[in-house]
Amino acid sequence: MINRSVCRFLPQTFDKILIANRGEIACRVIKTCKKMGIKTVAVHSDVDSSAVHVKMADEAVCVGPAPTNKSYLNMDAIMDAIRATGAQAVHPGYGFLSENKEFAKRLAAEDVTFIGPDTHAIQAMGDKIESKLIAKAAQVNTIPGFDGVVKTAEEAVKIAQDIGYPVMIKASAGGGGKGMRISWNDEETREGFRFSSQEAASSFGDDRLLIEKYIDNPRHIEIQVLADKHGNALWLNERECSIQRRNQKVVEEAPSTFLDPTTRRAMGEQAVQLAKAVQYSSAGTVEFLVDSNRNFYFLEMNTRLQVEHPITECITGLDLVEQMIRVAKGYQLKHKQEDIPINGWAIESRVYAEDPYKSFGLPSIGRLSQYQEPINLSKVRVDSGIQEGSDISIYYDPMISKLVTYGATRAEALARMEDALDNYVIRGVTHNIPLLREIITHPRFISGDISTNFLPEVYPDGFKGHQLEADKRRELLASAAALYITTQLRSQKVEVDGGKVEVSGQWNLASPLLPLTINGTDRMLQFKLRVLSKLAAELNSYMPEKVPEDTSSILRSPMPGTVVAVSVKPGDTVAEGQEICVIEAMKMQNSLTAVRQAKVKNVHCKPGETVGEGDLLVELE
């Protein structure tokens, strides 16, 4: 129901907006529309018919089956939904059709407002080759590289040799880390060309690539811009986005610990120069790589709302979705550059349904059997589009939510993030909260000593989980023992190896969260315990241990996904490290290789098949 008392104080914009997206960003846009008194239309695939964004909207239209190219990327079906519902405008969120100039053109042809920039800006900034040339002309710092389209793998090798290794191979269209590969030699360039072009074609329908110098050990810092249709443009400070895996962001913060006021202003002014050069209107983001000497280089411009926009909203007080809607209707910006503050500090953790112990996060699918967000805590924001019972599907991005905490200082925001992660309950799928917690409590992160290489440098052998120190291990054992002994007493003194530990708590086992006080310090315990009696423990020692499977002669899928290519057949001899097949999961392609030289015995998969985690793909003799 529309709150008319709120509407009286807001300028008239649109009566009805269709959100051409799903999940948390669709929910996020709907919230602002409700605040502004605007009715909303959700679109959904058949498997999303009971999704949260569908329930939140005033109307909902099914636009096709689960695969994105048949639903959320199905322009014909979405245009039909617009006509059927009488929506006056479309907010595209991010991803899907948000930077698709053909979609924006089709909307304009039917006099439907696209809540974003015009097609000229989308085309100019959506093409990394053209955007780099425009940036140069606008006197924006750019990375050395080849400004044309790379057509073949051998041409890529020659260009890489001319630029000098390392180089970055990346898709000309799109973003989000898809279609990007770092190459350190000729062979990696050939392989990177193949994978990047395939990912680009799969994700964006455009397999064109470019190559530029890879800046080793940089920071990834972006500037949020906001511009209207009257020539006004602002920069809304920066976001530090250096904590990444597979070129995708994991933890972001605003502002950055690294920028000084002079560099911040220079980056902001160049971002605005670029926006004005393409007559940009709406919210957008200019991304930069920043080296250790605070030299910064244009990376790309995203002509849409960014995933991490909430942290900018926290430190500026602006609702970026509201600003986008106002601009799309033709209003001028209400603020001047001097009105844009940096109030406090905000941190965002991207909570994913993925296994952080496998390459820092391979997708995990399943149903959320238990789900509880830490929204009861002070200055915590959770942007999500799921609820208890929701399915995490192979068809879509595995993001569960964006967890945001805010404080007067960075230390305050980090302490709240640690508390929020401890109070977040997710059961039914594997999730990355253990990794997120390790990142935000790591001494290097706390000190601000970070770069895009943070994860491989801190965890060179992969993430192994939190390693308990002796005193923390005693506390955990004591907590488990006290929990087992009684649920009646308010406190227990338990003796474990190394001394006595005093544990007290409310012992409410109906909740998955158990607040305890251990030796005078408040802790939050999430528990799944198996406590054995003395006799059972003694007998358990005689149970045979499960022998790990010999994986040298078999290849199993490390994740759920789709087989894109199979490079071998029975009878072939493969060398160590040779590609056997390629699995695509969440639009990312992963090459699976042989661990030793061997002859192929059997192949149990073929291109186009869907496989689950642990499925047998290939047997070797």
Burial code (b: 16+ CB inside 10 Å, e: under 16) for 510-547 equals eeeebebebeeeebebeeeeeeeeeeeeeeeeeeeeee
Q: Residue range 566-595: average pLDDT? A: 87
Say what the pLDDT of residue 527 is.
74
**Secondary-structure breakdown of the chain: helix, strand, coil percentages, each rounded to the nearest 5:** 30, 30, 40
Say what the pLDDT of residue 176 is.
58
Q: Residue range 505-514: average pLDDT? A: 75
Say what the pLDDT of residue 496 is.
66
489 three-state secondary structure: coil
* C-alpha neighbours within 13 Å on the C-beta side of residue 528: 5
Q: Residue range 437-458: average pLDDT? A: 96
Confidence of residue 150 (pLDDT cuts 50, 70, 90): confident
Model confidence at 26: pLDDT above 80 = yes
Can you give the pTM of this predicted structure? 0.84
What distance, in Å, lies between the first and last C-alpha atoms of the chain?
65
Q: Residue range 63-67: average pLDDT? A: 94
Q: Known catalytic residues?
A: 304
Confidence of residue 7 (pLDDT cuts 50, 70, 90): very low
Model confidence at 490: pLDDT above 70 = no
Model confidence at 532: pLDDT above 80 = no
* Triad 49, 101, 148: Cα angle to 5°: 125
539 three-state secondary structure: helix
Say what the pLDDT of residue 10 is.
57
The tokens describing 113, both together, are 């407002």
Q: What gap in Å lies between CA 600 and CA 238, rounded to an integer? A: 52
Q: Residue range 464-489: average pLDDT? A: 78
Say what the pLDDT of residue 397 is.
87
Classify residue 343 by burial, with Cβ atoms within 10 Å: 0-12, 13-18, 19+: exposed
Model confidence at 2: pLDDT above 60 = no
Percent of the chain with pLDDT over 70: 94
Provide the angle, in degrees to the nearest 10, between the axes of the packed helices 101-109 and 75-85: 30
Say what the pLDDT of residue 585 is.
76
Say what the pLDDT of residue 283 is.
98
Say what the pLDDT of residue 403 is.
98
Q: Tokens 């799928």 map to which residue?
A: 429
The tokens describing 416, both together, are 């709240």
Determine if residue 366 is left, alpha or beta; phi over 0 gives left, psi from -120 to 50 gives alpha, anything else beta: left
Percent of the chain with pLDDT over 90: 65
Say what the pLDDT of residue 512 is.
81
Specify the length of the chain in residues.
Answer: 621
CB 117 within 8 A of CB 284: yes
Confidence of residue 5 (pLDDT cuts 50, 70, 90): very low
CB 503 within 8 A of CB 494: yes
Q: Which residue has the higher pLDDT, 178 or 60?
A: 60
CB 404 within 8 A of CB 386: no
Mean pLDDT, the chain, integer = 90
Q: Which residue has the higher pLDDT, 467 or 452?
A: 452
Q: Which residues contact 543 (CB under 8 A, 6 or more apart)?
A: none
Model confidence at 390: pLDDT above 60 = yes
Nearest CA among 293, 285, 288, 283 for reference residue 323: 283
> Which amino acid is present at 108?
A
Say what the pLDDT of residue 92 is.
98
Backbone CA torsion sign across 334, 335, 341, 347 = positive
Confidence of residue 488 (pLDDT cuts 50, 70, 90): very low
Say what the pLDDT of residue 495 is.
64
> Which amino acid is present at 140?
V
The tokens describing 187, both together, are 């062979």
Q: Residue range 6-22: average pLDDT? A: 81
498 three-state secondary structure: coil
Model confidence at 143: pLDDT above 80 = yes
Q: What gap in Å lies between CA 465 and CA 449, rounded to an integer? A: 21
CB 38 within 8 A of CB 329: no
Model confidence at 314: pLDDT above 90 = yes
Q: Which residue has the higher pLDDT, 286 or 589?
A: 286
Tell me the sheet residues that pair with 514. 525
Nearest CA among 305, 309, 323, 315 for reference residue 340: 315
